[in-house]
Structure 1
Amino acid sequence: MAGEFSMIGSVILALFLAGYLGQQYLPPPKPRVIGLDLGTTFCSVGVFHPGSGVVEVIADEEGRKSIPSSVSFTNTAVLVGHEAVDLSDINPQNTIYDAKRFIGKIFDPVILKQESSRYPFKVKNNNGSAEFQISTNHTFTVSPEFIGSRLLLKMRKMAERHLQVSVQKAVISVPAEFDERQRNSTIRAANLAGLEILRVINEPTAAALAYGLHKVDVFNVLVVDLGGGTLDVSLLNKQGGMFLTRAMAGNNKLGGQDFSQRLLQYTIKRVQQEFGVAPTLKEDLHHLRQAVEAAKINLTVQPSVTITVPLYLHTQDSSDSSRTSPPPAVLFKTVITRELFQELNEDLFQKILAPVKTVLAEGHLEKEEVDEIVLVGGSTRIPRIRKLISEYFGKEPNTSVDPDLAVVTGVALQAGIMGGSWPLTVSAIEIPNRHLRKKNFS
């Protein structure tokens, strides 16, 4: 009997030793489940690497870790991401963005007409569902699911190129307020891209995972998600590994695009003051828009930036029909300070606090009872916004994770869990709250 126990013990020891040596010296398996953040303005893809426990957000060929949520149609191609944005000024009627706002929703005809008036492309009503009209060498319509599928296919290919393996499975994030129809439409978009969705996770929960809040002793978590086009505020309760969304509010017409637009309007006025004519050429406006966007980003780390843009302005002299060559470019140059940027947008920044106060009131919580404030979305990098939130709560928000990549990081963690990767052993659980409704401000 003693010999049998000794043999069993030796086998167990050999298995542990083999496992240890395997972890130390054998290459870990390639991850085959990806995490997808299909955002309104930008989207990203990430993976959890077994063994090392590292989450990697996968970059495109140019090293960029997120791609614009834009798809552009031409006579010969369908362009996605940055390539689509490059065509947005010269092909606006066929460049679709913000498709996530329409996916899976049933619209009242009046509401859909109001929503579609904001865009340069045509939005059609198909029995309450939105479709986008494309006019290239022929006219046709595409659904929001199709637009989403092109973005997801792009990210799938990015992952396959980087990992050198075929990818068919994914975890995807959606806004907490998405209903079953919107979630199913998002899954269909992924299916069109050749992906099987193993799990759908709420964006605030994904952000909480990225910040490691499933592993620490916190109860009340406020997630402020301010991206390029929308503001979402969620109040989460956490007990153990379970997350309950207690309240949601937001503004689906407030984001980084609005801050950039204010700065663009200012620069257009400066051009008119300096040269006596406003820029109207698509190329001029495109270059100004690019310069303004870069300035906004740089002002998060610098007190001032200089915008320098060559412009081909139309003046009375330059439109003279006797000219045989286009007018020479003029050089527009102006300094933008952080104080000026804040002054131009202060009223928009103040709007952020309205949904924050709403979720606290609906969650029956005092602001002092919030254990952790989590910032998500690139626009939360803006110093004035961070200061506004810290002043309101009397403490600093958690900024330990890149806000642009917080959601995709959390989704990649969940993808690692669903793929059976080690060292992850537990999964954060979301408690469904079917009676919860998001309040929107505008």
Structure 2
Amino acid sequence: MAGEMTILGSAILALLLAGYLAQQYLPMPTPKVIGIDLGTTYCSVGVFHPGTAEVKVIMDSGGHQSIPSIVSFTEEDVYVGYDSLELADSNPQNTIYDAKRFIGKIFTPEELERESDRYPFKVLSKDGEAVYSITTNETFTVTPEYIGSQLLLKLKKMAEEYLGLPVSKAVISVPAEFDGRQRNYTVKAANLAGLDILRVINEPTAAAMAYGLHKADVFNVLVVDLGGGTLDVSLLNKQGGMFLTRAMAGNNKLGGQDFNQRLLQYLYDDIYTTYGSLPFRKEEIHRLRQSVEAVKLNLTLYNSSWVHMPLTLSAQHPTNPGESDQEERTKRGPLHREESQDEDIKRVHFKTEISRKLFEHLNDDLFQKILVPIERVLKEGHLQKDEVDEIVLVGGSTRIPRIRQVIRDFFGKEPNTSVDPDLAVVTGVAIQAGIMGGSWPLQVSAIEIPNRHLRKANFN
């Protein structure tokens, strides 16, 4: 018996030694499974490298680690990501975004009308499902899952160019509140792009994995995911490698776009007060919107930032539309005013400084709204603030210092910001993709326990 144990021990030792030598001296295998974050506003793709345990978030040809979740149709071609973003202002009726809000959902006529009123493109109903009407050299409709497939195809090609081989298998993330139908339609979008989905993982779980919480000694994890268009708050319970989503709440009309719009509205008012008219050229408004986004990003690092750009103004522009027309200006605004050859115009160089204090003042009420779903999930999860072991921040908007301060003041402790919030979900999904692909060193896989009775509370 002792001899058998000795032989067994020697065999195990030899196996471990062989594994060590393989990791040290054999070439690393190429990842076979990619991880995809198909976000509402931006989407990303990543891979887990065997041996090094490094997650690589793959860049597009322009060096971006995330691409806008936008697809634009023209008579010549279909454009995706940043190429589509460039067409958003000149071709608004055929440029589709926020498709994730519609995928796999059944709407009443009233619900669909309310949702479609927010967009410059036309949303129609087909047996309760949303479809988009596109008019180029002909009129046709496309589905939200088709829009998703075009984004996924772009991500797939980015991964193939990086890896140097065809890719057919993936792990994909979805919001925790997605029901079975929405998950199935997300998988359908991936199938249209030529991808076999090995696993669908909840976004909060993926974020927790990115922070290493699947291996850490924590129990109650609060994930605050604030992106470009939506706020999602999830309370996770974790034991071992298993996650249970205990409560969810959010606001599907609160995000970075809303913060941008407040600043853009301020600039419109400033321009009108200074010059007595508003810009109307599409390309200039597009650059103004880009400047607003740049200012917001700069203010996460600096106390002030400048907007300066040439503008062409109408000398005969009507009076300032005023606050009562703010929503209409958000959707249409000076952006859609056409220039007439006979119209008097004036050219100015607009320049103004935006302080972080001003930006925070313009958005103070929106920042405070973040606490509403946080309080709700704690109540639904029967948890006190001090019982939360880890607060995880996800989404680019959580970089805003004032937002971090609001969360820090509420809990009385620092949230975890050790991972890039823009890339937390895709990093976690890539780790899970590595696990599904059998990569080593092996990670502890996160197992999600479905909570079929859970419903997400939304606060708009």
By the TM > 0.5 criterion, same fold? Answer: yes
Query: 1:138 aligns to what?
Result: 138
Question: C-alpha separation between the residues in 1 aligned to 2:6 and 2:223?
Answer: 55
CA spacing shift, 1:183–1:12, aligned 2, 3 Å:
closer
TM-fit CA distance, 1:288: 0.7
Superposed CA deviations along residues 59-87 of structure 1, whole A, max 9, x for unmatched, are 11111100000000000100000110100
Query: 2:428 aligns to what?
Result: 410
CA spacing shift, 1:202–1:14, aligned 2, 3 Å:
closer
Query: 1:304 aligns to what?
Result: 304
Question: C-alpha separation between the residues in 1 aligned to 2:2 and 2:177?
Answer: 62
Aligned residues: 439
Residue 377 of structure 2 aligns with an amino acid whose one-letter code is V
CA spacing shift, 1:202–1:12, aligned 2, 3 Å:
closer
Question: C-alpha separation between the residues in 2 aligned to 1:243 and 1:13?
Answer: 34
Question: C-alpha separation between the residues in 1 aligned to 2:288 and 2:99?
Answer: 25
Instruction: Name the SS for the 1:185 alignment partner.
Output: helix
Q: 1:32, 1:165 within 8 Å by CA — same for their partners in 2? A: no
Instruction: Name the SS for the 1:214 alignment partner.
Output: coil
Task: Judge which range, 45-54 or 423-432, deviates more.
Answer: 423-432
Aligned CA RMSD, in angstroms, stands at 2.1
Structure 2: 5+ residue runs without aligned partners? Answer: 318-338
Question: C-alpha separation between the residues in 2 aligned to 1:163 and 1:126?
Answer: 40
TM-fit CA distance, 1:313: 1.6
Residue 405 of structure 2 aligns with an amino acid whose one-letter code is K
Q: 2:315, 2:346 within 8 Å by CA — same for their partners in 1? A: no
TM-fit CA distance, 1:315: 1.7
Q: 1:47, 1:415 within 8 Å by CA — same for their partners in 2? A: yes
Structure 1: 5+ residue runs without aligned partners? Answer: none
**For 1:50-199, what aligned pairs fall within 5 Å after superposition?**
50-199=50-199
- For normalisation by structure 1, the TM-score amounts to 0.95
Query: 2:227 aligns to what?
Result: 227
TM-fit CA distance, 1:20: 2.8
Query: 2:211 aligns to what?
Result: 211
Q: 1:250, 1:440 within 8 Å by CA — same for their partners in 2? A: yes
Superposed CA deviations along residues 85-142 of structure 1, whole A, max 9, x for unmatched, are 1000000000000000000000011010010000000000001000000000000000
Residue 412 of structure 1 aligns with an amino acid whose one-letter code is A
Q: 1:104, 1:181 within 8 Å by CA — same for their partners in 2? A: yes
TM-fit CA distance, 1:273: 1.5
Superposed CA deviations along residues 388-414 of structure 1, whole A, max 9, x for unmatched, are 000000001000000000000000000
Q: 2:214, 2:444 within 8 Å by CA — same for their partners in 1? A: no
CA spacing shift, 1:321–1:44, aligned 2, 3 Å:
closer
CA spacing shift, 1:372–1:2, aligned 2, 3 Å:
closer
Residue 195 of structure 1 aligns with an amino acid whose one-letter code is L
Question: C-alpha separation between the residues in 2 aligned to 1:118 and 1:227?
Answer: 18
TM-fit CA distance, 1:31: 0.2
Q: 2:235, 2:248 within 8 Å by CA — same for their partners in 1? A: yes
Question: C-alpha separation between the residues in 2 aligned to 1:112 and 1:72?
Answer: 21
- For normalisation by structure 2, the TM-score amounts to 0.92
**Percent identity between the aligned chains?**
70
TM-fit CA distance, 1:426: 2.8
Residue 97 of structure 2 aligns with an amino acid whose one-letter code is Y
Q: 2:40, 2:99 within 8 Å by CA — same for their partners in 1? A: yes
CA spacing shift, 1:104–1:321, aligned 2, 3 Å:
closer
Among 337, 340, 350, which residue is 2:355 paired with? Answer: 337
Residue 102 of structure 1 aligns with an amino acid whose one-letter code is F
Instruction: Name the SS for the 1:105 alignment partner.
Output: coil
Among 375, 391, 401, which residue is 1:383 paired with? Answer: 401
Among 382, 385, 391, which residue is 1:373 paired with? Answer: 391
TM-fit CA distance, 1:13: 6.2
Superposed CA deviations along residues 342-365 of structure 1, whole A, max 9, x for unmatched, are 000001111100000000001011
Please state if 1:355 is matched with 2:392: no
Instruction: Name the SS for the 1:414 alignment partner.
Output: helix
Q: 2:124, 2:133 within 8 Å by CA — same for their partners in 1? A: yes
